[in-house]
């Protein structure tokens, strides 16, 4: 896998968040966020507060149904919380914006368009058509799909489609990337490649990255810090830094194993004792 991100900032040591002065990423703050879908079910998320530094990569780890997707949708502005707020660089998020882009489990490409047309959507929607000619080849190169511009989106494999979705998200130069289990439908090998590449790209661009996952390995490979979520109602049960160099994140070494075991321990303690049960 030869991915050469455009290095606008130094990648820095593996575990340190990129310093804000050199980062293109936004500061994300979630303040007292509570959400209830149906009153009879009680709140899905309860009084969640945390912040993410510019350029930091944070994983939200939690069991299925604990409200991870709900939380990420609210950070993106695609839906609004019952109470509490999300701040991007101190400004309240009230609507979705190409400055903080969400990626989903399915690539959700438009099948009637070519790869390049899909990647250009954000620029087209925001009246930046003049950037398309230079920016789209740039992001396709970044995700290692330089030769695929004119292919139909449907002709690509699942992993390649998810790369196109990544290019589509990156084209408008977002400050925050929000990933909702984007690799869970891929085979283990493709998933590893994408995990590495996404971390590398986000680092290279200095993006703030939040990734939702229920895979401990994914959290250890990708994140500088892991927020473990409790279920019923969802709240942050633990905030764990991952101290690994980029080289150690590929797994198969003691440092990785140590972090993995430590996180797994915390995660299973939390996951097995749901908040509302005795």
Partner 1 sequence: MSAAADIPQRSPMPGLGRARGAVNALLGIGLLLVLWWIGGEMIARNDDLFAFASFAPAPTLSRLAELVASGAVIDMSLPSLYRVGMGLALAAAIGVPVGIAIGRIAILREITNVPFQFLRMISPLSWMPIAVMAYDTWDGAIIFLIFVAAVWPILFATAAGLRRIDPAWLKVARNLGANPFHMLFVVILPAISVDILTGIRLALGVAWVVLVPAEYLGVTSGLGYAINDARDTLDYASLGATVVIIGVIGFFLDFTLMMAIKKFNWVRSDA
Ligand X SMILES: Nc1ncnc2c1ncn2[C@@H]1O[C@H](COP(=O)(O)OP(=O)(O)OP(=O)(O)O)[C@@H](O)[C@H]1O
Give the span between the Cα atoms of 210 and 223, in whole angstroms.
Answer: 8
End-to-end CA distance of the chain: 49
Query: In the set 30, 44, 178, 210, which binds ligand X (CB under 6 A)?
Result: 44
91 binds ligand X (CB under 6 A): no
Give the span between the Cα atoms of 270 and 238, in whole angstroms.
Answer: 9
Residue 112 touches which member of partner 1, ligand X, Mg ion, none, C-beta under 5-8 Å by kind: partner 1
Q: What length does the chain have? A: 278
DSSP 70: H
Here's the x/- map for ligand X, 181-220, by CB under 6 A: it reads as ---------------------------------x------
68 binds ligand X (CB under 6 A): yes
CB contact at 8 A, 33 and 81: yes
Give the shortest CB-178-to-ligand X separation in angstroms: 12
Give the shortest CB-104-to-Mg ion separation in angstroms: 9
Residue 127: exposed, middle, or buried by beta-carbon count in 10 A (0-12, 13-18, 19+)? Answer: exposed
163 binds ligand X (CB under 6 A): no
**Chain Cα centroid distance, residue 145:** 20
Give the shortest CB-46-to-ligand X separation in angstroms: 12
Report 34-93 residues binding partner 1 (CB under 8 A).
Answer: 76, 78
CB contact at 8 A, 116 and 136: yes
Applying CB under 8 A, the span of 15-23, 42-50, 80-88, 99-107 interacting with partner 1 comes to 99-107
Task: Report, in angstroms and rounded to the nearest whole number, the Rg of the chain calculated over CA atoms.
Answer: 18
Please say whether the dihedral angle defined by the alpha carbons of residues 139, 100, 220 and 191, taken in this order, is positive or negative.
Answer: negative
Residue 106 touches which member of partner 1, ligand X, Mg ion, none, C-beta under 5-8 Å by kind: partner 1
70 binds Mg ion (CB under 5 A): no
Nearer to ligand X, 67 or 81 (CB): 67
Residues forming contacts to ligand X in the complex (CB under 6 A) are 37-38, 44, 62, 64-70, 214
Residues forming contacts to Mg ion in the complex (CB under 5 A) are 69
């Amino acid at each position: 896998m030869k991915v050469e991100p455009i290095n606008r900032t130094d990648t820095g040591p593996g575990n340190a968040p990129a310093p804000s002065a050199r980062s293109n990423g936004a500061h994300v703050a979630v303040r007292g966020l509570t959400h209830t879908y149906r009153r009879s079910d009680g709140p899905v998320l309860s009084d969640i507060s945390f912040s993410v530094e510019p350029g930091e990569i944070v994983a939200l780890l939690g069991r299925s149904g604990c409200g991870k997707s709900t939380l990420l949708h609210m950070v993106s502005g695609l839906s609004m919380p019952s109470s509490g707020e999300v701040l991007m660089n101190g400004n309240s998020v009230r609507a979705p914006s190409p400055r903080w882009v969400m990626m989903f489990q399915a690539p959700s490409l438009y099948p009637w368009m070519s790869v390049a047309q899909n990647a250009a959507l954000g620029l087209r929607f925001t009246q930046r058509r003049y950037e398309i000619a230079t920016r789209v080849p740039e992001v396709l190169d970044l995700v290692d799909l330089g030769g695929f511009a004119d292919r139909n989106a449907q002709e690509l494999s699942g992993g390649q489609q998810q790369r196109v979705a990544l290019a589509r998200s990156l084209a408008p130069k977002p400050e925050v990337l929000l990933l909702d289990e984007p690799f869970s439908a891929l085979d283990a090998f493709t998933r590893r490649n994408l995990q590495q590449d996404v971390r590398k790209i986000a680092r290279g661009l200095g993006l703030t990255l939040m990734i939702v996952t229920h895979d401990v390995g994914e959290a250890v490979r990708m994140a500088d810090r892991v927020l473990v979520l409790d279920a019923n109602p969802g709240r942050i049960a633990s905030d764990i830094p991952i101290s690994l160099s980029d080289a150690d994140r590929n797994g198969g070494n003691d440092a990785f194993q140590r972090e993995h075991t430590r996180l797994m321990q915390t995660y299973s303690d939390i996951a097995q004792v749901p908040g509302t049960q005795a």
